[in-house]
Amino acid sequence: MKYITKYLLGASIAVGTAQALPAMAADQAGTNIDRVLSELTRQHSGASSLVKSTRQPTSLSLSSPLLAQSGSSTKKDEPVLEKLTAVASNTVNRFKQTGLASWYGRQFHGKKTANGETFDMNALTAAHRSLPLNCYIRVTNKDNGKSVVVRVNDRGPFQGDRVLDLSYGAAKAIGLTQRGTGNVIIERVDGP
């Protein structure tokens, strides 16, 4: 792209100069434009098939297999944003994740959470990196089968190997407070 900009800049300067110069300079500007067009053609011809396909008017997102799986209609006149929103919504609604969960409590009690609330260590809440704030999830302790429904109101955890931070109250409900961490299953639910 840097080279194309350089050539186009050179061509525009040459064209602008050509208008004020005699015919000899205009011929030189025409040669410069021909050289720029030749270079652009060469770069397009040498481009990979992926680059060439993205230059086509059809969008890669519209040909995604996720659209077919989402149950969204694929009418050509339906806006792309609506189709992609349907895919994202269906994906989040079917969210299921397993991993290591931890809990946080006293050190954050009374401080602000990501959604602006005051953190209550005894409430049934959680911190997740990517789920929508204020959505509900069922968290099941894989070791004992106990589960609790919590509301995501914060972001985290910030430990690389953990997928969820539970409030002390939520961790206590499923038996995670003694060990501090545990393997859990996270599933999106409609409400408490």
% of the chain residues with pLDDT over 90: 47
Distance CA 143, CA 41 (A): 62
Domain ranges, ordered by start, for the chain: 1-57, 96-189
Residue type, position 115, single letter: N
Query: What was the pLDDT predicted at 66?
Result: 54
Which CATH number, 1.20.1090.10, 2.40.40.10, 1.10.3720.10, 3.20.20.150, labels domain 96-189? 2.40.40.10
Picking from 104, 95, 50, 89, the residue whose alpha carbon sits closest to that of residue 186 is 95
Q: List, for residues 29-88, the tens digit of each pLDDT value.
A: 556 777 777 777 777 666 665 555 555 544 445 555 555 555 545 555 567 777 777 777
Run of H or E residues at 98: strand 96-104
Query: What was the pLDDT predicted at 134?
Result: 94
Q: List, for residues 112-123, the tens digit of each pLDDT value.
A: 999 999 999 999
